Amino acid sequence: MIAGFEHLNKAFESKIRLGIMSVLVANESADFTALKTLLQLTDGNLASHTRSLEDLGYIRCEKSFVGRKPNTRFYATEAGRAAFADHIAALESFLKNQKEV
């Protein structure tokens, strides 16, 4: 393996988790419905992935009510943003090394 590859984050191996982080890093926040539509996921699937990211401390959620409907809104934490940036940097350095070979 090429140097720099060990920096790849296991949490972001899943395409869905990477997608969730991409949305939350690019935007201030996103609610459950918006994430679901963007990533084209089912409720259960999105819920399990957001929970695992939450457990890692990469995202946090705020639950509130819009009228009578419960609304869950997700934010990327500082740790999450840093981990995401590291992951991208690792991918990019991998590509750079490949070019030089």
In the chain, beta strands by DSSP E:
30-31, 59-66, 69-76
23 binds another protein (CB under 8 A): yes
- Could you tell me the CA-to-CA distances from 7 to 4, 18, 101 in Å, in that order? 6, 15, 20
66 binds another protein (CB under 8 A): yes
Applying CB under 8 A, among 26, 42, 44, 65 the residue interacting with another protein is 26
77 binds another protein (CB under 8 A): no
The residue written with tokens 């934010």 in the block is 75
Which token pair is 49? 């992935």
Q: How far is the CB of 10 from another protein (least distance, A)?
A: 13
Which token pair is 12? 């972001």
Task: Report the largest interatomic distance among the alpha carbons of the chain, rounded to a whole angstrom.
Answer: 59
Q: How far is the CB of 83 from another protein (least distance, A)?
A: 13
61 binds another protein (CB under 8 A): no
Where along the sequence are the contacts to another protein (CB under 8 A)? 5, 15, 18-19, 22-23, 25-28, 30-31, 33-34, 38-39, 66, 69, 71, 88, 91-92, 94-95, 98
